[in-house]
Amino acid sequence: MAVVARNGPVTASPLTGSTAAITTVAITTAARPGFLSGWLSHIPLPRWALVAVGVVVAILLLLCLICIAKCCCGKKKPKKKERVSLQAVSSSTTASLVQPEMEDLEQTVEPTWRGKLQYSLEYNFRAQELKVGVKQAAELKAMDSGGTSDPYVIVYLTSDTKKRYETKVYRKTLNPIFNESFTFQVPQAEVPESTLVMQIYDFNRFAKHDIIGEVRLPLANVSLQHVIEQWSDLVAASKVEEERLGEICFSLRYVPSTGKLTVLILEAKKLKRMDSHGLSDPFVKVYLILNRKKWKKKTTSVKKNTLSPYFNEVFVFEVPFSQIQNVDVVVSVWDHDKVTKNEPIGKLFLGCRATGNQLRHWSDMLSNPRRPITQWHSLQPPDVVDKALGLKSHLKLPLTTR
């Protein structure tokens, strides 16, 4: 029995080992595909809880990826925009943006507030008078070292800059009360072409008066059907006052075969006021310049008390065709005075040395022989025209009048 018992296990042992090995291989082979399931089976949680945890982890990972993408894009976009903007602008503009000029810095530092002015306007259509009332000023810019100013007001119209009114000077104040009125003679037809200028100055006894600011009011933008009273802010004063001298209309005609240059003075308008009563006594001088020396001259009749004279007078000059390129025609308007010396209102010249409308008029005359060419011209300051002509005044030639 003992032998049988010993042999039994020995005989049975290999069988059991084979079976165990086969079973282990089978289990191992079956466990590899389901490794995740086997691993999850060891976690002491229900399956729905594991699914929920997985979903939450996936959402968190997705949110992290989105945040990283936004951060990277946000850092790159400004650089891209900056490169595009710098390429779009020119080098000078870029330089001014990086390093502004000193003038820009001075304008930025300087205060722009200059104060304000209260005034009134009233136009009398029957008498054709404009009454300007200077009421008061407020919050003026301090011009003196003590923090105050000595203000006064100058009032004038751009149509007649010689006629100016001044208020009294008020000492050491930034809020003066003037309450003064001034009357201008302005024809109704000239009202839309005039601009009212009111300038506030700081009075200095031993130095030049400093301008605080001004108010410019184009009368064309104002309804004068009723009395106007209002406040306006002061602005920086204009550096150059454009004075209107007037306009003149004339025609030119040249015939090369006969060498005759015909100048027809037709009319003038909006001439500058030269007399105390607001009018002028205009007449026109026409003279020729040959090689920068006065050559021939003719004069129209005088028209009394008018700013829009009508002449319709013809002058004929003999100019050989060989000299036409060297000739300048000077047209000047004068104010006649019986007692004092005649005063020039304005002038202009035409010829090959002229510019702008004057050169165009001269060229049209030469390109259209025997045909009169008519055109309006604006008068210019006499000194400006004389400088452009460069006359040799020290060489005097006899003037022949035809």
- Please report, in tens digits, the pLDDT of each residue of the chain (402 residues total): 444 444 444 444 444 444 444 444 444 444 454 555 666 566 666 767 777 777 888 888 888 888 787 776 654 444 444 443 434 434 343 333 334 444 444 444 445 888 999 999 999 999 889 999 999 999 999 888 888 999 999 999 887 777 889 899 999 999 999 999 999 988 888 888 888 999 999 988 766 788 999 999 999 888 888 899 999 999 988 765 556 788 999 999 999 999 999 999 999 998 888 876 778 889 999 999 888 788 889 999 999 989 899 999 999 999 999 999 889 999 999 998 877 788 899 999 999 888 878 888 999 999 999 899 999 998 988 888 888 888 654 444 444 444
148 SS3 class: coil
Q: How far apart are CA 239 and CA 186, in angstroms?
A: 25
87: left (phi over 0), alpha (psi -120 to 50) or beta: alpha
Separation in Å, CA 282 to CA 194, 271, 340: 21, 9, 15
- Cα dihedral 34, 39, 44, 49, rounded to 10, equals -70
What is the reported pTM? 0.47
Q: Which CATH class is domain 247-389?
A: mainly beta
CATH 3.40.50.720 fits domain 116-233: no
Give me the phi and psi of 274, to 5 degrees please: -115, -25
Q: How far apart are CA 286 and CA 332, in angstroms?
A: 7
Residues of the chain with CATH 2.60.40.150: 116-233, 247-389
Please say whether the beta carbons of 347 and 384 come within 8 A: no
Question: Any idea what DSSP says for residue 400?
Answer: B
Return the ∠ at Cα 349 (arms to 346 and 354), rounded to 5°: 130
